[in-house]
Amino acid sequence: HGCSVPSQQVYILISSSLPESIIAAACARSGQRVLHVDSRNYYGGNWASFSFSGLLSWIKENQQNTDIKDESEDWRKLILENEEVISLNKKDKTIQHVEAFCFGDQDAAEDVEEAGALARVPAAGTSVAEEVAEEAEKECSPLESSVPGAENWESEKASSTDPASAEEGNITEINSENESSHNTASGESALELGKPEATLSEVSAQEPKKITYSQIVREGRRFNIDLVSKLLYSRGLLIELLIKSNVSRYAEFKNATRILAFREGKVEQVPCSRADVFNSRQLAMVEKRMLMKFLTFCLEYEQHPDEYQGNYKNSTFAQFLKTRKLTPSLQHFILHSIAMVSENDCNTLEGLQATRKFLQCLGRYGNTPFLFPLYGQGEIPQCFCRMCAVFGGIYCLRHSVQCLVVDKESGRCKAVVDHFGQRISASYFIVEDSYLSESVCVNVCYRQLSRAVLITDQSVLKTDSEQQVSILTVPPVDLGQPAVCVIELCSSTMTCMKDTYLVHLTCPSTKTAREDLEPVVQKLFSLNAETEKETEGEELEKPRVLWAVYFNMRDSSGIDRNSYSGLPSNVYVCSGPDSALGNDCAVKQAETIFQEMFPTEEFCPAPPNPEDIIYDEDEITAEETGFNNSPETKPESSLQESSSRGSTGVKEHIEE
| Tens digits of residue pLDDT in 308-355 | 776 677 788 998 999 888 999 999 999 999 999 988 888 889 999 999
Whether the CB-CB separation of 388 and 36 falls below 8 Å is answered with yes
CA angle 39/415/148 to nearest 5° reads: 55
The residue type at 79: I
CATH code, 273-361: 1.10.405.10
pLDDT tens track for 469-484: 999 999 988 877 899 9
pLDDT of 9 strictly over 80: no
Looking at every residue in the chain, the average pLDDT score rounds to: 79
CB 537 within 8 A of CB 523: no
Closest C-alpha to 52, from 120, 95, 102? 102
- pLDDT value at position 194? 37
Q: What is the pLDDT of residues 580-617, one digit of tens each?
A: 999 999 999 999 999 999 999 999 998 777 666 665 55
Q: How many C-alpha atoms does 648 have within 13 Å on its Cβ side?
A: 27
Number of helices and strands in the chain (H, E):
18, 24
Output the pLDDT for position 607: 79
pLDDT band at 464 (very low <50, low <70, confident <90, very high): confident
* Overall pTM surpassing 0.95 (yes/no): no
Residue 12 backbone dihedrals phi, psi, to 5 degrees: -120, 125
At 50 the pLDDT is 97
Bridge-based pairing state of the strands 370-373 and 484-489: unpaired
236 or 648, which is more confident? 236
Q: How confident is the model at residue 206 (pLDDT cuts 50, 70, 90)?
A: low
The domain segmentation of the chain, as residue ranges, is 10-91+375-444+558-597, 273-361
> Residue 5: which of 570, 414, 431, 421 has the closest Cα?
421
**177 Cβ partners below 8 Å, 6+ apart?**
160, 161, 162, 194, 195, 196, 197, 467
pLDDT tens-digit map of 246-296: 999 999 999 999 999 998 889 999 887 777 888 888 888 998 899 999 999
What are the Cα distances from residue 526, in Å, to 539, 603, 656?
6, 48, 46
- 10-91+375-444+558-597 and 273-361, same CATH topology: no
The SS3 assignment for 455 reads strand
Q: What does DSSP say about strands 401-407 and 413-418: parallel, antiparallel, or unpaired?
A: antiparallel
Quick check: 188 pLDDT over 80?
Answer: no
pLDDT recorded at residue 459:
94
Sheet holding 447-456, edge to edge: 95-102, 545-555, 447-456, 501-508, 484-489, 470-474, 258-263, 266-269
Fold of 10-91+375-444+558-597: FAD/NAD(P)-binding domain (3.50.50)
